[in-house]
Amino acid sequence: MSLAIPDEVLYASHMTPSELEQALAILLFQREKLTLGQASRLAGMSQLQFQFLLANRQIPIHYDVADFEADLRTLREVGRL
């Protein structure tokens, strides 16, 4: 699924499309709606890069066994495991 953001919203936010994707990924991760792996994919970066982004913004990583299992399921679904 793709999400269309109107140009005027993007312009008003003073963000690039990449920055907006990262902000959305961070928000959903903080609210525990996405796992670390899911959020990093939404942000368009590796998990390590996303972890650095979180660290730079002083956002703690909440990653437990359930998150790990969810990431494993996701990887199996996309054929990477």
Place of tokens 């996303």: 50
pLDDT digits (tens, 9 = 90+) for 24-73: 999 999 999 998 889 999 999 999 999 999 999 999 887 778 878 888 89
Question: What is the DSSP annotation of 38-73?
Answer: HHHHHHTS-HHHHHHHHHHTT------HHHHHHHHH
* Two structure tokens written together for 6: 């109107």
Q: Give me the chain's average pLDDT, please.
A: 90
Query: What is the length of the chain?
Result: 81
Residue type, 13: S
pLDDT band at 81; cut points 50, 70, 90: low
pLDDT in tens, 43-55: 999 999 999 999 9
